[in-house]
């Protein structure tokens, strides 16, 4: 089983639609949680951190359920510019290390 699992998609949605992505992680000791965005042939960039209480940044809402080891990202009123791959990331502290473990990503394509 992969440490971080995501539906690869692609999700093809019309402009203005609401779309949700899910992610599960296997290690209950995971400490911090993030969504990164990666455009085609570009480096990943932080979209938002994810907190247990849930958090919102404009059209983006992230949720974390530690009991179910589940993270979600909701995008409202999607724009053409939202087309990208969305990477679910968890961090894990170990002896002498602090790793960021990436999911394989969910591709989103917003259609005009």
Partner 1 sequence: GAGVSQSPSNKVTEKGKDVELRCDPISGHTALYWYRQSLGQGLEFLIYFQGNSAPDKSGLPSDRFSAERTGGSVSTLTIQRTQQEDSAVYLCASRGVLNTGELFFGEGSRLTVL
Check: CB of residue 72 under 8 Å from CB of residue 23. yes
Q: Could you say whether residue 103 binds partner 1 (CB under 8 A)?
A: yes
For the CB of residue 56, give the shortest distance to partner 1 in the complex, in Å.
18
Contact between 91 and partner 1 (CB under 8 A)?
Answer: yes
The strand pairing partners of 33, in sequence order, are: 50, 90
Q: How far is the CB of 92 from partner 1 (least distance, A)?
A: 10
Of 63, 78, 77, 73, nearest to 105 by C-alpha is 73
Place of tokens 């992610």: 23
Q: List binders of partner 1 among 28-47 (CB under 8 A).
A: 32, 34, 42-46
Q: Do 64 and 54 touch, CB atoms closer than 8 A?
A: yes
Q: How far is the CB of 80 from partner 1 (least distance, A)?
A: 22
**Which residues contact partner 1 (rule: CB under 8 A)?**
32, 34, 42-46, 49, 87, 91, 94, 96-105
């Amino acid at each position: 089983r992969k440490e971080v699992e995501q539906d690869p998609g692609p999700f093809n949605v019309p402009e203005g639609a609401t779309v949700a992505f899910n992610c599960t992680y296997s290690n209950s000791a995971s400490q911090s949680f993030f969504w990164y965005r990666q455009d085609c042939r570009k480096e990943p960039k932080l979209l938002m951190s994810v907190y247990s209480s849930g958090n919102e940044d404009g059209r983006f809402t992230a949720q974390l359920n530690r009991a179910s080891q589940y993270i979600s990202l909701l995008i409202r009123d999607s724009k053409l510019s939202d087309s990208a791959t969305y990477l679910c990331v968890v961090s894990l502290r170990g002896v002498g290390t602090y790793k960021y473990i990436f999911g394989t990503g969910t591709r989103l394509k917003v259609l005009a």
